[in-house]
Amino acid sequence: MAETGSAKAPTPGGFKRLIERYPFLPALGILIILLALNGIFSPNSLSYRSLTGLVSTYLALIMLAIAQTYVIFAGDIDLSAGAVVSLVNVVIIVLMEKMGGGGLAVFAALGVGVLAGLVCGLINGIVVAGLRLQAIVATFATSIFFTGFALWVMPVAGTPAPALFWRTYGSKLLGLPFVFYIVAALAILLFVISRTRLALQLLSVGDDAQAAYQTGLPVTPIRIKGYLLCGLFSALAAFCVTGDTASGDPLVGGKMTLFSVAAVVLGGSALAGGWGTVVGSLLGALTIGLINSLVFFIGTPSEWQNFVQGLAILVVLMAGILVGRRARA
């Protein structure tokens, strides 16, 4: 180490530097390939109409993947994210129905929904960061708890959303689909959050929690704030689910949880924390959506769809990791 002559300076190559700056590039490449494949098998699937449909169907997963990203930044995980989606979904449906389904009722219900998501996030944060329980098991436990609460709010699925709500979600504004405005607002929100101190602190905690503590960062409050962000975006995901399905279902979000984790990893973030981007998670969620539609368009028999879908996710995951590993070598 002391000899200066032979010590080689680290000079990352162009590709490596690019991946370091934009860790979501492999995910973007895969997304473009999947879009092309979709177009080959069914040219119609690339139409404006189909793409709008794709976005409005998978916007919920995008939101949930983003929610998951913030806790994964800090090296945590939230296995209750899907249950929070279910809970917020039934809470806002019941509230909107009880209050008559007018414009004011919708806004009030959405406000309560956001609040519910934040409370769930706070509970997770206190349990994981405050009480120092293992994140995987603790949030698995809270997911059961949240699901139970959702079932108490609405024991049977099927209560419809007020027409005002789902019509708005599927409507057009100034010639553009409403969901595109949501995407634009989301992009601005993500950009704003990425400039905050919290984003940087979450990543530092995920990088090395002990080092962050020794540096003097308030590690526990930072992790709780990560879960709060997760709760907020889970609530937003629930709004999208409600707009898309137009009804209440106390179990609607459960199966989305692990898809959201998969989307984060597909997007190039490290599950161990400290490394990743929300843009990558957004692309990862779209990738999962495109895989599903591709499986449909190539005419897979229905009994084989799960099989092919699982295989395709594995292949994409492998491709992303191979590219990432080459960049890091």
Partner 1 sequence: MAKLSLSGVSKAYGATLALRRGDLDIEAGEVHVLLGSNGSGKSTLCKIVAGSVRPDKGEVLIDGRPVTISGPQAARALGIGIFYQELSLSEHRSVAENICLADLPGKSGIFVDRAALEARASRYIALFAGVAGEGFSAEALVGNLRADQRQLVEIMKALSSEAPVIIFDEPTSALDRAQVDRFFEILRQLKTEGRGIIFISHRMDEITAIGDRATVIRDGETIRTLKLSETDPAEMIRLMVGENSDLPSAEHELPAAGPSAGAPLLSVRNLSGKGFRNVSFDVLPGEILGFGGLHGQGQSAVLRALFGASSISGGSLELSGRSLAVANPRSAIRSGLAYVSGDRGRDGVIQGRPIVENAAPIHYLKERLLLARPSALRDKVLPALGALHTKFASLAHPIGSLSGGNQQKIVIARWLIERPEVLLLDDPTKGIDLAAKADLFNLIRQLAAEGMAILLYSSEDAELLGNANRILVFNGGAVTRELTGADRTRYNLYQAAYEAA
> Can residue 212 be called a binding residue for partner 1 (CB under 8 A)?
yes
Q: How many CB atoms lie within 10 A of CB 192?
A: 10
> Can residue 197 be called a binding residue for partner 1 (CB under 8 A)?
yes
Of 228 and 291, the one with the shorter C-beta distance to partner 1 is 228
Site string for partner 1, 177-196 (x = CB under 8 A): ------------------xx
Residues 12, 102, 103, 130: which binds partner 1 (CB under 8 A)?
12
For residue 325 the two structure tokens come to 């590993």
Distance CA 38, CA 299 (A): 12
Per CB under 8 A, which region of 3-11, 44-52, 143-151, 155-163 contacts partner 1? Answer: 3-11
For residue 78 the two structure tokens come to 């939230």
> Can residue 131 be called a binding residue for partner 1 (CB under 8 A)?
no
Site string for partner 1, 253-292 (x = CB under 8 A): ---------------------xx-----------------
| Stated length of the chain | 329
User: Count of alpha carbons within 13 Å of 214, Cβ hemisphere only?
Assistant: 4
Of 105 and 219, the one with the shorter C-beta distance to partner 1 is 219
Per CB under 8 A, which region of 40-48, 123-131, 166-174, 212-220 contacts partner 1? Answer: 212-220
Backbone φ, ψ for residue 208 (5° rounding): -165, 100
Cα 254 to the chain's mean position, in Å? 13
Distance CA 42, CA 306 (A): 20
Cα 199 to the chain's mean position, in Å? 16
Of 97 and 207, the one with the shorter C-beta distance to partner 1 is 207
How many residues interact with partner 1 (rule CB under 8 A)? Answer: 31
Which residues 214-243 are close enough to bind partner 1 by CB under 8 A?
A: 214-218
Of 156 and 188, the one with the shorter C-beta distance to partner 1 is 188
> Can residue 211 be called a binding residue for partner 1 (CB under 8 A)?
yes
Query: Which residue pairs from 101-106 have beta carbons closer than 8 angstroms and sit at least 24 positions apart in sequence?
Result: 101/162, 101/163, 101/164, 101/165, 102/162, 102/164, 103/164, 105/162, 106/162, 106/164, 106/165
> Can residue 201 be called a binding residue for partner 1 (CB under 8 A)?
yes
Binding site for partner 1 (CB under 8 A): 1-4, 7, 9-12, 20, 195-198, 200-201, 203-204, 207-208, 210-218, 274-275
